[in-house]
Amino acid sequence: MKMRMNKELKRKIEEIYKDTRVEFPERNRMVVKTKKENLLPILEFLKSEEFRQLKAISCVDWIEEGEFELIYQVTSLNSPLHIMVKVRIGRENAQIETIIKIFENAQVYEREIHELFGVKFRGNPGLSPLFLENWQSIPPFRKDFDTREYVKEVFDKIPRVESENEKS
Amino acid sequence: MRELELYFGPQHPGMVGNFSITLKVEGDRILEAIPNPGYLHRGFEKLMELRNWIQNFPFVCRINVIEPDSMEAVYAMAVEKLANIEIPERAKYIRTIVLELARLASHLFGAWAYANMLGFDTPAQWAMADRDHILDLFEELTGGRVYHIYVLPGGVRRDLPDGFEEKVMHFLHALAQKLPDYNETFFENRIFYERAKDIGKIKKEEAIEWAATGQVLRATGVKYDIRKVEPYLVYDKVEFDIPTRSDGDAYSRILVIRDEMLESAKIIMQCIEKMPKGKVYERTPNPFKWKIPKRETYVRVESSRGELGLYLVSNGGNAPYRAYFRTPSFNHGLFILPRLLKGSSIADVGNIMISLYVVAPEIDR
């Protein structure tokens, strides 16, 4: 029964939206790979199919391909299926439409990705820094950000506390 | 009346944990609440990309200080899925026992935090003492009290020591005997009831729209638990209920937590009874040379606070290419909390925050 419903969902999505591939990589997981133009309509469609919870948005930096991959993780209360809608965008001047009109709680996830990867979400009004304070470098979760180099640069500049013996 | 800006935390007597909220208040009324995390941001997800698969275990457990075992378990399960490792049956039972003991310890800690904040000092101290008994058990099993690094890909680090099962049973019976005292002084105490009833109320529709999980969702009457939705380890071989309440307020949430403790005890007892003999560890490749094929997975478990997920990506190397932890507190603390605080009073800030069971390290990661 569940299997049939999943296949039906796959058929519908692939039929309505062009350039979209639906896969079932493992049990209870569905991956929808699509273009960014299709993202909002597909999320809206999934929401109308009772997939009403946005559990998270993740981001992967595929630096060699020059792309960011955004993964929208959506679930339903009536099905064990966990859906991952994947969209790729260029690393240069990375930006994409916000989804807060469909899933309100996307707000905080988009804010996190904006800070850690530098992806701009058009239409999201609350993209202020979340964890970091006065961050000057490139977004820290990008692959070209070198954590060890940064630590050396920042913390080696902090003057050592001279012990009492050295002073005299 | 004049509008004021008030900094609630990280150094505030009413704040639990390293978290801060900027409140806009008019008198005692909160007009707006802006959560301000980041005091515990250690960038674990980035640091994990620089270390090999096994080296990450001492990291992941530190993401949630109060319940480290579910973090270890979710990471181990994800690595096993990527590398196609099947773990021995006995290891599954031991992991379930460890996860449920961790849930008990976490719930007792939560009860301590809540009782302590509202001034119920006696039950708070009891809860802390009872949690310590579980830490004693963990110390005997793993060598560590708070962080265990016990669950590894392929199984668990060592078998149960002699007489461990009896000690666990003894503890569970002692805890059950104390329950009437806890009820009288805390859970069913009239003063606590008045203090928590109708505080931080969430409607069922809101909880669903806002993607709440764990107690926050179950306190609104929705029976949703990853242990039932997608049973992992041996949760399909033991019998247990998913406690729910229907009011969606702080009092309902704490009662769900109390009832869950009993269910956890039930699960542990059944595991001890049904546990087969055998090995507890499947050999894995040399950790320094271990490469995992290019693959990705999303693994989810029900932690003591709600759905805990790990999106793990390998590009064929000896370290994760990307790890993303979906923690329940992130959504509850940053998205739901400010919505509940709006319109409440300053005295209820800590009350509402603890009733959502938010832990700061899990938000910042």
Facing residue for A132 by CB, picked from B38, B45, B46? B38
CB B134 within 8 Å of CB B171: yes
Mutate which: A60, A85, A152, vs B, most B CBs within 10 A: A60
For the cut 70, the answer to whether the pLDDT of residue B107 exceeds it is yes
Where is B325: in which H helix or E strand?
Answer: strand B322-326
Residue A80 in any domain: the answer is: yes
Which CATH number is A48's domain given?
Answer: 3.30.460.80
Number of structural domains found in chain A: 1
Q: Which residue has the tokens 């807060």?
A: A100
Q: Which of A112-121, B16-25, B40-49, B132-141 has the least mean pLDDT?
A: B16-25
Confidence band for B13, pLDDT divided at 50, 70 and 90: low
Q: Say if the Cβ atoms of A60 and B321 lie within 8 Å.
A: yes
Q: Rounded to an integer, what distance in angstroms lies between the CA atom of residue B78 and that of residue B81?
A: 5
Ramachandran region, residue B284 (left: φ > 0; alpha: ψ -120 to 50; beta: rest)? beta
Where is B360: in which H helix or E strand?
Answer: helix B360-364
By the CB < 8 Å criterion, does A80 face chain B? yes
pLDDT, tens digit, for every residue of B231-240? 998 999 999 9
Q: Say if the Cβ atoms of A28 and B322 lie within 8 Å.
A: no
What's the whole-number mean pLDDT along residues B152-175?
Answer: 91
B-proximal residues of A, 108-167, CB under 8 Å? 108, 112, 130-133, 140-141, 145, 147-148
CB B351 within 8 Å of CB B118: yes
Residue A30 in any domain: the answer is: yes
| φ/ψ of residue A74, rounded to 5 | -125, 140
What's the whole-number mean pLDDT along residues B234-256?
Answer: 91
The pTM of the full predicted model, rounded to 2 decimals, is 0.89
What's the whole-number mean pLDDT along residues B160-167?
Answer: 91
Q: What percent of chain B has pLDDT over 70?
A: 99
Whole-angstrom CA distances from A98 to A40, A71, B236 are 9, 13, 39
- pLDDT of amino acid A163: 78
Residue A47 in any domain: the answer is: yes
Residue A167 in any domain: the answer is: no
Instruction: Provide the residue range defining the domain that includes A60.
Output: 2-158
Residues of chain B found within 8 Å of residue A53, distances taken between Cβ atoms: 208, 211
B-proximal residues of A, 37-66, CB under 8 Å? 52-56, 58-61
Residue A120 in any domain: the answer is: yes
Q: How many contacts, defined by CB atoms under 8 Å, are there between A and B?
A: 79
Q: Say if the Cβ atoms of B222 and A77 lie within 8 Å.
A: yes
Mind listing the domains of chain B with CATH numbers? 43-321 (1.10.645.10)
Facing residue for B335 by CB, picked from A73, A107, A130? A107
Q: Rounded to an integer, what distance in angstroms lies between the CA atom of residue A161 and that of residue A156?
A: 13
Residues of chain A found within 8 Å of residue B334, distances taken between Cβ atoms: 108, 130
- pLDDT of amino acid B38: 86
Q: Say if the Cβ atoms of B335 and A108 lie within 8 Å.
A: yes
- Residue B157 is given by DSSP the state S
Average pLDDT in chain B: 89
Residue A166 in any domain: the answer is: no
- pLDDT of amino acid B292: 86
Mutate which: B51, B322, B325, B363, vs A, most A CBs within 10 A: B322
Residue B224 structure tokens: 């949703």
- pLDDT of amino acid B43: 87
Q: Rounded to an integer, what distance in angstroms lies between the CA atom of residue B156 and that of residue B76?
A: 10
Q: Say if the Cβ atoms of B41 and A107 lie within 8 Å.
A: no
Q: Say if the Cβ atoms of A105 and B298 lie within 8 Å.
A: no
Residue A32 in any domain: the answer is: yes
For the cut 70, the answer to whether the pLDDT of residue B15 exceeds it is no
Residues of chain A found within 8 Å of residue B38, distances taken between Cβ atoms: 130-133
Residues of chain B found within 8 Å of residue A133, distances taken between Cβ atoms: 38
- pLDDT of amino acid B116: 86
Q: Which residue has the tokens 């041996």?
A: B234
pLDDT, tens digit, for every residue of B296-332? 999 999 999 999 999 999 988 889 999 999 999 999 9
Residue A168 in any domain: the answer is: no
Confidence band for B11, pLDDT divided at 50, 70 and 90: confident
The residue ranges of chain A whose pLDDT is under 50 are none
For the cut 90, the answer to whether the pLDDT of residue B358 exceeds it is no
More confidently predicted of B11 and B91: B91
What's the whole-number mean pLDDT along residues B356-362?
Answer: 87
Per-residue burial over A132-157, b if 16 or more Cβ lie within 10 Å, else e, is eeeeeeebbbbbebeeeeeeeeeeee
ipTM of predicted complex: 0.86
